Every structure is written in C-alpha cells, then in structure tokens.
Amino acid sequence: MKSIYFGEEHELFRQTVRQFIESEVAPHANAWEAARRIPRSIWRRMGEMGLLGILFPEALGGSGAGLFHALAFLEELPRSRMGGFCAAVSVQQFIATGALFRRGTDALKRRYLVPSITGEKVGAIAISEPDTGSDVAAIRTTAVRDADEWVINGAKTWITNGVEGDFYVVAVKTDRDAGAGGISLIAMDSDLPGIRTNRLRKMGWHSSDTAEIVFESVRVPASGLIGRESRGFYYIMETFAVERLVTAAIGIGSSVLALEETLKYMESRTAFGRPLNRFQALRHRLADLATELEAARQLVYHTAWLLENKEPAIRESAMSKLLATELNKRLVDECLQFYGGFGYVEEYPMERFYRDARASTIAAGTSEIMREIIGKTDIDGVAFAPVEDLEETGMAEEAQTTASREAGLAQAAPEPALPVLPVPPVPPVPSAAASGPAGATIPTDLPGFFQALPLRHRPEKTIDWRSRFHFRFRESAHPEWTVAIDGASVSVSEGLTGTADCVVQTTEKVYLDIETGRQNPETAFLMGKVKVSNVAAMMKYTKAFRPVAGR
C-alpha cells in the first residue's frame, strides 16, 4: 500500500499482527465468546511477541514505536472476530496504563506497567459509575487518607477487564466537594479485601469481561496515588485523545473486515442467476460504504499524524471516534442486509459484528459527547493552543493537559457560549478592602482589582509585547474592562476600547473567587465558568502580573 503515513516497516508489522491474530486468536473466537473470557495464555503470548507495549519505551520492556505502528496493530485486532478481544487488549495497552506511564512513580511502573507489557498482569481503568458515565466530574467514589493508606468506598460499573484483571487504575474523589478538581487516580491490586466484582451480561463483546466493582473500605497503600492528588481529572483527559483514536482505529479495522467478508459472500452467492455483487442497487451501496470507509480511515490517520506532531487533536480525535464508530455500526447493518437470512444467524460472522459494533458508539465516550466536543470547536469557535506555545510560557504540565481539558469542558459542561480556550488562572490583584497577612490589602470588588492591576505589573515580562485584553463580566455593575499592555507600561480602563487580542468572559463572582484563591482557576475553566478567546495571550498575561497580595 502506498501511503504518506505507513512505510515498509509498518506494513511488515501489520502482516505479522495479522498472521498472529488469524492463526492464534481467531480460531478460538467462538470458544472464548462462549466462555465470556479470554485465556491468560494469550496475554502472555502477546507479551512475548512485543504486542502489548507498542508505544512504551524499551527501558520498560516496550517497543518504543509510534502511533502508526499502534494503528496498524489496532486495525488488525478485529480479525480476531471478537469486539470483546479488541476491547480487552486496547484497554490494557492504551487506556488503563497511560496515566501510569506518564504520571506514575517508578515503583508503580514496575508493579503494574512492566508486567502488563509482558502480559503477566491485566489492567483495567475504572472511571464510570452507576450514577455517572459521561459526566466524569460527578463521580462519587471516595478515597480518604488514613495514615499511610487510602480508604476507598464507592462503586464502578462497565469496567473492561474488571473481573479478570489484576490491577485497577481507579478514579476517586479525594476532595468530594471540589468537582473535577477533587479527582485523583489511584492504582491498586484487584484482590484487596473489600473489593467485590460482578460480571455483566452484555449484548456483545462477550469475550471481554465487563464488571461492576464495589469498594467497601478498601485500604490501598498511599504510594498507589498516580501523580499528584486532585490532578486525576487532567490525567484522565490526557488519555482521551489517544483513547478516541484507538477506538476509531478498531472501528476502521472492523469495517474493513466486515466489508471484505461481505464482498466474498456476495461474489459466491447467486440470485436470479447472477452473483449478488452484479446487482447495481447493491453495488452502489457497497461503493458508498467503501468511499465513506476510506474517508474515515484517512481522518483517523490524519489525527494520528497530528498527535505525533504534538498537536492536541481534540477536535479530530472526537471526529475520528464519531465517524469511525458510527460508520461501523451502519456498515455492519448494511452488510448484514446483503447476507440476507444468513446475516441473522450465528454461523455467519455478521451477526456478531452487528452486536459488537453497537458498543463502540457508547464506550470510550458516547457519540453525543463527541458531537458536543466538535460543537465546541466548530460552532463556538474554540481553539487549541499548540503544545509548544504553552511550553514556551513555562506551563509544560498545562500543555500536556490542554487538549484534554477542552474535552473535559465539553464533557462536564456542554453549555456552549463564546470561544473557549484552555486558560490558566486569571491574574490576581491587591487593593483596598480586606487585609492580607502582611498588612497588604485585598480588593473586594472589580474596580478595586482592576485599578490595582498596574501595581502588580512585572514590566520585565512584557518589555517586547503589545496586547489588549477585554474582560466581560456577567452579573456585575462594572461589566466591561480593558487592559492594554504596551511594553513596560500597562493601562486599565473601564469599558471596552480598541480591538482586543484576547476576550475573557466570566462572572464577577467567579473572577473575584479566583483572584482571592477561593476558586481553583483550572476547575473554573473545566466547568466552563471562564472563557478565553486566545490562550497563548492569556498565558503570557498571567505571567505579567504578580499574584494578589495576601494570597
């Protein structure tokens, strides 16, 4: 295949994966589907073959390969003829272990990630709960610190690999009042006292175990915390672009296989003295499906290319997931129709393809949530700062979460409005009203904050910079402010003057809460309470002013 994305090495890898799946996995599909599990031996075999650590570095036992190797792998997985196998393997390799790799300590990596690459341990990511799935910020499972342990209480559901898995990465609330800003990720063994699991009976994906998990005063070593406390929401969001790409790629591979099988069938099956593939009414529908599939496939590749080039690709990964999984659902429906009655019986592949395709528009973020994200970018004008811009402003950690935060925004607060951008704290201020610890005064109203802004200016940060900011406040007697930065000087005026390089929208209360430290700015942003039209400018702005005195 000639491609700008795939070279010879990718194609050789693809052939190896295909051969392995066709010879060592697909022949067992019926048995594993009936048993509703996949055997441990296949995990270890995949580990031996280096198929469970494609993106992870060699130092951890991975292959250190890129996303296009991963795509080649994912597109071949559906040749297992089991959506459940695709789900189990992709969760283990690309979803459950992502935060462990990026944020986990060496000890956690050794305990969970390294054995998952060798296939000795199977992992699960437990975010969804009985009362909340799409709205991640609303999870209720709690973790309370007790000496050198976390005590976990709550319930999770729909957890892939949840019954058979050896470890979980669990999203918990470590601060139950803080919404998204109170979520942490904790890694734990799955056999700890107080953990109970129940296997769910599903319409499809039979070979994948999908669990309800109950945590009753489960004690986990404090060292199980992944990264920093209360940063879990960002860590979850960090994995979303890849997770969506992964699901999209499996959708593409599933559609390619379904179409391939259907074309074979239509070549051999005759009606009215002709093979089915000679009927123009059917040929045109096949041609449409093949065209849509090719278009979806190219979008998936383009998204992978963007991610490889450090672009957030939030819009494109949501589009890829939406298009590829919805197409897969429609395509297998059409293909089943082309099989006639044989499409409806278990002996033929389309019956399982049809059931399995149904899960993919729900798991890993529903189609509706994907549309919400796309609506944010394409209707509300949301833009994303390139990672490099954020890194330049010294916010490397923020940069890694940019894309995901925007996705989170769409997930947690789908109320659209102005252009929204990932935004750091709106700058804090000193002035008149309350007294700070060192006798400094902290303003209590908008005029106080804005009038005092020049006092906090750091001219050395803006020496070569000219920029104008418009602040618009809802629910305020002083709703509009302009801040103009001109090299080493800054001027503030009430009202909107000139053309803004950046527009900031929020309420007076949220702004004051952020300035005085009562509201976490990132959480405010995540919940859609602060909207900013130019993230790079805003990043620079936050560095141009000292924090409010007394904070």
Ligand X SMILES: Cc1cc2nc3c(=O)[nH]c(=O)nc-3n(C[C@H](O)[C@H](O)[C@H](O)COP(=O)(O)OP(=O)(O)OC[C@H]3O[C@@H](n4cnc5c(N)ncnc54)[C@H](O)[C@@H]3O)c2cc1C
Catalytic residues: 243
- Rounded to the nearest whole angstrom, what is the least distance from the CB of residue 235 to ligand X in the complex? 13
List, as own/partner pairs, every contact residues 361-364 make where C-beta atoms lie below 8 angstroms and the sequence separation is at least 24, other chains included. 361/325, 361/326, 361/329, 363/87, 363/158, 363/160, 363/247, 364/95, 364/243, 364/244, 364/246, 364/247, 364/321
Does position 142 interact with ligand X (CB under 6 A)? The reply is: no
Does position 118 interact with ligand X (CB under 6 A)? The reply is: no
Q: Give the x/- contact pattern for ligand X in 191-210, rule: CB under 6 A.
A: --------------x----x
Does position 158 interact with ligand X (CB under 6 A)? The reply is: yes
Contact with ligand X (CB under 6 A) among 30, 118, 134, 444 = 134
Which residue, 96 or 266, has its beta carbon nearer to ligand X? Answer: 96
| C-beta of residue 141 within 8 angstroms of C-beta of residue 215 | yes
Does position 337 interact with ligand X (CB under 6 A)? The reply is: no
Q: Provide φ and ψ at 117, rounded to 5°.
A: -75, -35
- Rounded to the nearest whole angstrom, what is the least distance from the CB of residue 205 to ligand X in the complex? 5
353/399 Cα distance (integer angstroms)? 39
Report the 10 Å Cβ neighbour count for 53.
25
Q: How far is the CA of 274 from the CAs of 278, 281, 282, 342, 348, in angstroms?
A: 7, 13, 13, 18, 21
Contact with ligand X (CB under 6 A) among 258, 266, 318, 369 = 369
Q: Which residue is nearest to ligand X (CB)?
A: 133
| C-beta of residue 539 within 8 angstroms of C-beta of residue 504 | no
Contact with ligand X (CB under 6 A) among 209, 372, 398, 501 = 372
Does position 78 interact with ligand X (CB under 6 A)? The reply is: no
Contact with ligand X (CB under 6 A) among 414, 416, 479, 517 = 414
- Rounded to the nearest whole angstrom, what is the least distance from the CB of residue 466 to ligand X in the complex? 40
Q: Provide φ and ψ at 437, rounded to 5°.
A: -60, -40
**DSSP H helices in 80-192:** 83-90, 98-103, 106-108, 114-118
Which residue, 425 or 528, has its beta carbon nearer to ligand X? Answer: 528
| C-beta of residue 165 within 8 angstroms of C-beta of residue 190 | yes
DSSP for residue 182: G
Residues 195, 200, 202, CA angle at the centre, nearest 5°? 160
Which residue, 356 or 501, has its beta carbon nearer to ligand X? Answer: 356
Residues 349-368 that bind ligand X (CB under 6 A): 359, 362-366, 368
DSSP for residue 440: -
Q: How many residues line the site for ligand X (CB under 6 A)?
A: 24
Does position 160 interact with ligand X (CB under 6 A)? The reply is: yes
The pair of three-digit structure tokens given for residue 126, joined into one six-digit string:
């437990």
Which residue, 184 or 516, has its beta carbon nearer to ligand X? Answer: 184
Contact with ligand X (CB under 6 A) among 105, 118, 128, 497 = 128
Which residue, 123 or 424, has its beta carbon nearer to ligand X? Answer: 123
Interface stretch with ligand X, choices 131-139, 327-335, 345-353, 470-478 (CB under 6 A)? 131-139
Does position 122 interact with ligand X (CB under 6 A)? The reply is: no
Contact with ligand X (CB under 6 A) among 54, 122, 125, 548 = 125
| C-beta of residue 409 within 8 angstroms of C-beta of residue 526 | yes
- Contacting positions for ligand X (CB under 6 A): 91, 124-128, 132-134, 158-160, 205, 210, 359, 362-366, 368-369, 372, 414
